[in-house]
Homo-oligomer: A and B are copies of this chain.
Amino acid sequence: MKIAIAQQNYSVGDFGKNATKISKAIFEAKNQNADLIVFPEMCLCGSFPFDLLQMNDFMETTMQVLQRIASESYGIAVMLGCPTYCEDEQETKVYDSAILIENGTITRRFNKKNLSHLESKYFKTDNEKNVFEWNKQKIAVCLGDDAPESENGITLCINIAAQTYKHGSKRECKQFANTSTPVIYVNQYGANTEVVYEGHSFVRNAQGETIIELPYFADGFAIYDTDKTYEPIKQEKPSDIALLHDALVMGIKDYFEKNGFKTATLGLSGGIDSAVVLSLAAEAIGSENIRVLLLPSEYSTSHSITDAEGLAKNLGVQYDIVPIKSTYSEALNALAPIFKDLPFSVAEENLQARIRGTLLMTLSNKLGNILLNTSNKSEVAVGYGTLYGDTNGSLSVLGDVYKTDVFRLARYINRDKEIIPEHTIIKPPSAELHPNQQDSDSLPNYDLLDKILYQYIECGKTQEEILSMGFDKEIVEKTTRLIKRCEFKRQQACPALRVSQKPFAERVIPLIAKF
């Protein structure tokens, strides 16, 4: 039996485009004489639809498009994922289903069992066994993390999924650890705003060896012949930083493509964060579609301009230098009758950042260039950034990437030649909001800070547990205090590409919490 697997990139609610992709792959599979073609979980409507799943017209459209695809699928069987109605009319939830189409007719439905908390808001489970016999095979169907049914005689597992990318962790498919049949794993790839699916579909043989592998973050198509013997693949996995880089580039690319946006802007400070964002964006949507602003203030150092210009020139990105000094002075003039002779404070520092954010948004509104946010996860964690200034943007590229990984990304971007000026990478990080300011004036060095943040955020450790690991008491206490104190900034942040094991968007802390 020949089984085709199709790894594709879908958009939430864009039924026309999704169906066209699916139809093309069915056509290709028929051309290659496949008996069955398997598509990822939730491919028909895109993932994740959130409350759209509760809207009747969304579900109606899903059903119509499913019927259309079924009616066009002669001479081949198709398995694909989509939400389906529950028969109980009182039930507001739907199923997360794998649909089997045979010769133009929907013949079977398998519903996901193992739901995440988010999924359980929308989906119901049932007790039906997800097993079917077909072409002398007894096939167990698993959605996402579902374990295969424990039933005798199963000869093949098909796992359709919409699994996200998580930096530094690898997909283990533990549910098949005790399975002694081949496993076909078909995953979505592509980003829908923050959510980044990794692809990397594969086929494992009965011994658990990978025999077919599709790429990360790209289209993939393969035929698995159950009657053939395959050599195990011994290819090494790409490095963590290469994968992170590719995930972010795809995240930007899909954000623009799926929203119908063409052009981007951002503020280039001469620092490493905006340098990395610009490099990634140039790769994602092309240098010619980006126009950046250099927004020096009276506290900017001369190298901040030369470093930023160097990068823009290396990438061939159009840039303009727009000094903020006169706007800043006028704003302070307007407030002078109130401020009188109160000393320079964080108010003036934030004002600079907000004028930058405002000028960037004005450019964005005038020219239609979408503003990319350049904050990193370390800053977002400790609140080192101005709300309505540094936090501005439609998409945060690095908001889920720690500063130490931003440095690694810069090195990776420069792997073949210098794109980001070396001085940008080696100089001490600074917000340049007052004379001779450096991040290290108010924060621990990033190597140390990121280690503490990782334990607190990703690992969910308490302050006491982190202290017992040997970290400095004062630094740990300061760090956790800062994290708690700036929750309000995170609650107004723009969406950030989710690439870590614990994005801030999945962490819900009440604003009022004396604890």
> Interface residues, chain A, CB within 8 Å of chain B?
11-15, 17, 48-52, 54-58, 61, 117, 120-121, 192-193, 254-255, 258-259, 320, 322-324, 326-327, 329-331, 333-335, 337-339, 342, 345-348, 350-351, 354-355, 357-359, 361-363, 365-367, 387-388, 392, 394, 460, 462-464, 488, 491-495, 507-515
Count of identical protomers in the assembly? 2
Task: Give the CA-CA distance A387 to B512 in the complex, in Å.
Answer: 24
- Check A514/B12 contact, CB under 8 A, given A55-B462, A350-B365: yes
What chain B residues lie within 8 Å of A460 (beta carbons)? Answer: 54-55
Given contacts A51-B508, A54-B460, 19 further A-B contacts (CB under 8 A): A15-B515, A50-B508, A52-B509, A52-B515, A55-B460, A117-B120, A258-B512, A323-B334, A327-B334, A335-B363, A338-B363, A339-B366, A346-B365, A351-B358, A358-B358, A358-B388, A491-B494, A492-B493, A495-B511
Q: With a CB–CB cut-off of 8 A, which chain B residues contact A354? A: 357-358, 361-362
A-B contact pairs, 26 of them (CB 8 A): A11-B514, A12-B510, A12-B512, A12-B514, A12-B515, A51-B508, A54-B460, A57-B464, A192-B510, A193-B511, A322-B335, A323-B334, A326-B334, A327-B334, A329-B330, A331-B355, A338-B363, A338-B366, A345-B365, A346-B365, A347-B363, A347-B365, A347-B366, A354-B361, A361-B387, A491-B494
Question: Which of B330, B392, B510 is A327 in contact with, Cβ under 8 Å?
Answer: B330
- Among B50, B345, B350, B366, the residue within 8 A (CB) of A510 is B50
Given contacts A354-B362, A366-B339, A515-B13, contact A510 B323 (CB under 8 A): no
- In the complex, what residue of chain B is closest to A318 when comparing beta carbons? B338
Smallest CB separation, A2 vs chain B (Å): 34
The reply to whether A362 and B388 contact each other, CB–CB distance below 8 Å, is no
Separation of A491 and B494 alpha carbons in the complex (Å): 7
> In the complex, which residues of chain B have a beta carbon less than 8 angstroms from the beta carbon of A61?
515
In angstroms, Cα B48 to Cα A394, docked, is 30
Separation of A463 and B463 alpha carbons in the complex (Å)? 50
Q: In the assembled complex, which residues on chain B have CB atoms less than 8 Å from the CB atom of A121?
A: 117
- Partner among B49, B333, B348, B509 whose Cβ is within 8 Å of the Cβ of A513: B49
**Cα A417 to Cα B467 with chains together (Å):** 60
A269–chain B nearest beta-carbon distance, Å: 17
In angstroms, Cα B65 to Cα A38, docked, is 56
Cβ A512 vs Cβ B255 within 8 A: yes
Alpha-carbon separation in the docked complex, A345 to B367 (Å): 10
Q: How far is the CA of A324 from the CA of B334 in the complex (A)?
A: 7
Q: Given that A350-B365, A351-B358, A514-B13 are known contacts, is A50 also in contact with B335, CB under 8 Å in the complex?
A: no
Asked if B345 and A366 sit within 8 Å, CB to CB, the answer is: yes
Instruction: Give the distance to chain B from A299, nearest Cβ to Cβ, in Å.
Output: 16
> In whole angstroms, how far apart are the Cα atoms of A11 and B460 in the complex?
23
Cα A51 to Cα B17 in complex, Å, equals: 38
Residue of B nearest to A392 (CB): B388
CB distance from A432 to the nearest CB of B (A): 18
Which B residue's beta carbon lies closest to that of A346?
B365
